[in-house]
Amino acid sequence: MTYTLLRGRLLSFLRAPQSLADTDSYLYESDGGLLLNNGLIVACGAFDEVSAGAPADTIMIDHRPHLIMPGFIDMHLHFPQMQVIASYAGNLLEWLNTYTFPEECRFVESAHAQRIATHFYDELVRHGTTTAVAYCSVHKTSADAYFAEALRRNMRMVGGKVMMDRNAPQGLLDTPQMGYDETRQVIADWHGKGRNHVAITPRFAITSTPAQMEATQALAREFPDLHIQTHLSENHDEIRFTCELYPEAIDYTDIYARYGLLGDRTLFGHCIHLSEREADAMSEAGSVAVHCPTSNLFLGSGLFPLKALASRDKPVRIGVATDIGGGSSYSMLRTMDEAYKIQQLLGERLNPLESYYYMTLGNALSLSLADRIGTLDTGTDADIVVLDAAATPAMALKMEVVKTLAEELFLLQTMGDDRAVVETYVAGVAAKSTM
């Protein structure tokens, strides 16, 4: 297997940065070398040293002066919503009923699901995202298309067939038994195949009957290592309706807790309006609150208290995500720009080191996958993004006055998008330039 040596400025986080001055929280090599072989990072450090240890026939790719980072991780998005994005709706429930549910019905057709899967992975790669955690539709066909394409591209992907058996059109409903059986089949067909991870995926409490929640609980017991993903506390009308459907629960979070779904493998999309009790419960369980800023602004759902949740005495684990198609951009750079603005509105600061930490190591830790992705550590997957902070004329002009790494990262986040992604490597192979 040939070796590839990337040359450029390396940036990889070691832990969560405590402040902008926390230079010990990351590794930065101004003239770095990253040696890749067989889908893995085999050496990382100063270019001269890494290059001296590389085999003679190593292929060198010079990315100077660009930044080389771990590929971005998107913790929450909806594969069947590529044609829902940019739908004009007043709020979450109107958006779901008017646009989203009808569109997802089309994924019963495998030809349609396969076509969208191709576009889906193209967009991820174009935007420098190398791992994503997606909801498929209720149809097993959609999960098959999603995982087959991930396998073809050798990407590390998490996803699940949505379970939903009420409060949606007939074409989008399973039953408790069907949801259970088909999820088991998706696990048997795809989990651990290539780099695929299957997640147990009850859409949210509104679209699952108590009987289906019990089926979900049975799956969670049978497959304790699998991720669970669902939605929590996104919109005030949603919260009210949910609590009406489960009057025995003390709050929205308690519904999931009652069915054994509050654990350290559970990824809860949104979590905007949690009470202190709910945040305590999330913290104690080690569950992850996944922030989806472009979606929260687009649907008018609210301002996620990221800083407040992360800095509590009982901190809540945080992930960040696009939430396509409620979200309005596939770019994790655009996502963190909006996350920054939300904290501004809340009177908090989200510094650029934190942003890039969240997109990479932070999300990897929240997925319990930091041994494989999210850093440039040797032995981990060679999923890498190469970024150019001078990608457009306006960015290049601003770069003339940028003096520090943090300023450069902030410029990339504020003005960057897919145009700033020079290359995306998936398991050591250039995937963007060859698309």
Name the phi and psi angles at 112, rounded to 5. Answer: -65, -45
- 185-214 residues in contact with ligand GUN (CB under 6 A) are 203-204
d(CA 367, CA 248): 31
d(CA 256, CA 26): 36
Which residue number, 323 or 383, has a Cβ lying nearer to Zn ion?
Answer: 323
Considering just the CA atoms, what is the radius of gyration of the chain in Å? 21
Which residue number, 46 or 105, has a Cβ lying nearer to ligand GUN?
Answer: 105
Which residue number, 78 or 140, has a Cβ lying nearer to ligand GUN?
Answer: 78
What, of ligand GUN, Zn ion, none, does residue 139 touch, CB below 5 to 8 Å by kind? none
Candidate residues 231, 265, 273, 372; the one interacting with ligand GUN per rule CB under 6 A:
231
What lies within 8 Å, CB to CB, of 232 at 6+ separation is 204, 252, 253, 256, 268, 269, 270, 271, 274, 289
Distances in whole angstroms, Cα of residue 287 to Cα of each of 277, 284, 403: 14, 8, 39
What, of Zn ion, ligand GUN, none, does residue 331 touch, CB below 5 to 8 Å by kind? none
Q: Is 7 in the site for ligand GUN (CB under 6 A)?
A: no
d(CA 135, CA 408): 33
Question: Please, are residues 186 and 199 in contact by the beta-carbon 8 Å criterion?
Answer: no
The number of angstroms, rounded, from the C-alpha of 133 to the middle of its chain's C-alpha atoms is 5
Q: Is 269 in the site for Zn ion (CB under 5 A)?
A: yes
Candidate residues 74, 174, 323, 383; the one interacting with ligand GUN per rule CB under 6 A:
323
Binding mask 220-259 for Zn ion (x = CB under 5 A): ----------------------------------------
d(CA 232, CA 256): 9
- 266-305 residues in contact with ligand GUN (CB under 6 A) are 295
d(CA 304, CA 358): 15
- 233-262 residues in contact with ligand GUN (CB under 6 A) are 234
> Closest Cα to residue 258, out of 273, 247, 244?
247
Part of the chain binding Zn ion (CB under 5 A), chosen from 19-27, 203-211, 269-277, 343-351: 269-277
Give the binding-site size for Zn ion (rule: CB under 5 A): 2
Part of the chain binding ligand GUN (CB under 6 A), chosen from 15-23, 92-100, 335-343, 349-357: 92-100
d(CA 401, CA 399): 5
- Smallest distance, ligand GUN to C-beta of residue 259, A: 17
- 113-172 residues in contact with ligand GUN (CB under 6 A) are none
Instruction: Report the interface residues with ligand GUN, using CB under 6 A.
Output: 78, 92, 96, 100, 203-204, 231, 234, 295, 323, 326
- Contact footprint for Zn ion (CB under 5 A): 269, 323
